[in-house]
Structure 1
Amino acid sequence: MVHEVVRLQGEEELDRPALALLLSAFAAGLAINLSLMSELFLRSHLPDTRWAPLVYLLGYPVGYLIVILGRLQLFTESTITAVLPVAAKPRMANLAKLGRLWACVLAANLAGVFLVSSLMAGEVILSEAQRTFAVDILGKLEVQTAAKTLTLGIPAGFIMAAIAWILPNSRGSEFWIICTLTYIIGLGNFSHVVTGSSQVSFLWMSGRMAFLEMVLEFILPALAGNIIGGTGLFAVLAHGQLRVDDLGEANDETAR
């Protein structure tokens, strides 16, 4: 039942006009920056202690709540919802639709993220003190290798696909599901291509990171990891178990 609900959602997404996808995904890119901003605002009021991340990372789910409950297009959700129809009917037409959806959603997500990052770096939506604090905090983050970013992107993609899979059967618990699972992404320092891009793009626009470093060391590896975790692991396994169940039922019918 869950598989069918998610598959039908994916078919609706695949058939949406490109302009609708772009606008929805752009809005999601704008909203997801609130995860970074909320986290920074909480962090500015906390001492530098070992337990502080347990508190300031409570701000990490804010952007996800707006995006997911608002039914905006976020790239990592489409790694399962839009993939199931393709897995069920692997035709060139469906693959072309999936490629169009992924390209539109990812491009618009990043455009929204980069716009808000530019406003943050330009002290339009942050005060000078807040921007200085953000640059100081984010600039101290350890720069990971591309391989490490890719590895940490796999569980992030898996968790986001799990959210899309669970929500149709959540029965009023959507808020807690989104908060709990996205909090784990933040706490585990997993690499989410869209949310993480808000950090690296802010550092780039603040002169603390090179453009190629941002793209090659984070965006592309995180993208690959999210696709592997969301599509390669969750979507394939979720679809695969249904196929096995169907084959088992067919064999039982044949035996009878």
Structure 2
Amino acid sequence: MPAATIRQTIPPVSDSETDGATEQMTSRSVLDSLLESGLHEMNRERSGLLLSGVSAGLDIGFGPLMMAVVLTLSPGGFGDLTTELLLASVYSIGFMFVILGRSELFTEHTTLAVIPVLDRQASFKQLGRLWGLVYVGNLVGGLLFTLLVILLMPELGVVDPQSFETIALKLVDHDLPWLFVGGVFAGWLMGLLAWLVTAAQDTTARILLVLIVTGTIGLLHLPHSIAGNVEVLFGLLVSPAITLTDYAGFLVLATLGNAFGGAVFVALLKYGHVVRGAE
């Protein structure tokens, strides 16, 4: 039964049940907001979705760039606590630009765009259209950002090309099953972020949520298909240690893992518990 129908049949809540119902009402409110946002994005023009995806792909590149700057300037490296925390913090910068700037990010839509399909207000064809346009836009934006930085890098003077190789190897130097499973966790966290940001009441709370959630992805070095696209592209273009096969394998498995994690562990489970809890 669609959530809209269920909400119409909910009986009044007695005073004795108020405390227990408050949290559930908040969850329904969040679900409604996500449902409305998802439907809005599905109905946007192709060009608007594609350009928004390109914008997100460009903006998110600042995270990997700042990671390379930190690795270049820091006396430590991966494994050093201070450096790891700094890297996780600057990794979040690109996500802040994208999420607070309301650009379209594929990994957010592994939850956001799935909810209207679960609610039977959108089709899988519409979901595929949205995912395809946003995903392609994100990849194109990431490629453009990477090429711009490669051109500017000699004049920047604060980035060692070796740093890009180090960051890329941290993502591709794994067995293929790990890339998928790690991608599931990254997609799970990004879907959870979409839910939490919608529930947050102010900009400060949203900034903290983005910092905590995406910083966790950075600290664990989980494969995020869009930010990781930029990280591995940097390595591919500046280092012979990163091959096109490494890049393709990372992108395919990280994308599949991200989609599975956001769709199943957030969209499906949270939609199910809110709708069933309302019955």
CA contact (8 A) 1:156 1:192 kept: yes
Structure 2: gaps of 5 or more residues: 1-28
CA contact (8 A) 1:120 1:131 kept: no
Give me the whole-angstrom Cα distance separating, in 2, the residues matched to 1:163 and 1:129.
32
Give secondary structure in 2 for the equivalent of 1:48.
coil
List per-residue Cα deviations over 1:224-250 (Å, max 9, x = no partner).
11011100221100111123224xx3x
Q: Does 1:15 align with 2:43?
A: yes
Report the equivalent of 2:126. 97
Structure 1: gaps of 5 or more residues: 250-256
1:225 to 245, 257, 267: 257
Q: Residues 139 and 161 from structure 1, CA distance in 2 versus in 1: closer, same or farther, beyond 3 angstroms?
A: closer
CA contact (8 A) 1:154 1:226 kept: yes
Amino acid at match of 1:7: L
List per-residue Cα deviations over 1:19-68 (Å, max 9, x = no partner).
00000010000000000011222222221252221123210110000000
Give me the whole-angstrom Cα distance separating, in 1, the residues matched to 2:270 and 2:154.
42
Q: Does 1:167 align with 2:197?
A: yes
Amino acid at match of 1:155: F
Report the equivalent of 2:228. 196
Amino acid at match of 2:49: L
Q: Does 1:114 align with 2:143?
A: yes
Amino acid at match of 1:200: V
Alpha-carbon RMSD: 1.9
For residue 163 of structure 1, report the CA deviation from its aligned partner: 1.1
Report the equivalent of 1:155. 185
List per-residue Cα deviations over 1:110-164 (Å, max 9, x = no partner).
0010111122333458646624243453365361122111110111111111111
Give me the whole-angstrom Cα distance separating, in 2, the residues matched to 1:60 and 1:107.
22
CA contact (8 A) 1:76 1:226 kept: yes
Give me the whole-angstrom Cα distance separating, in 2, the residues matched to 1:139 and 1:176.
27
CA contact (8 A) 1:120 1:126 kept: no
Larger displacement relative to structure 2 (161-170 or 25-34): 161-170
Report the equivalent of 1:73. 104
Q: Residues 73 and 125 from structure 1, CA distance in 2 versus in 1: closer, same or farther, beyond 3 angstroms?
A: farther
Report the equivalent of 2:90. 59
Give me the whole-angstrom Cα distance separating, in 2, the residues matched to 1:37 and 1:123.
12
Give secondary structure in 1 for the equivalent of 2:32.
helix
List per-residue Cα deviations over 1:55-85 (Å, max 9, x = no partner).
2321011000000000000000011111100
TM-score of the superposed pair, with normalisation by structure 2: 0.82
Give me the whole-angstrom Cα distance separating, in 1, the residues matched to 2:32 and 2:155.
44
Q: Residues 136 and 193 from structure 1, CA distance in 2 versus in 1: closer, same or farther, beyond 3 angstroms?
A: closer
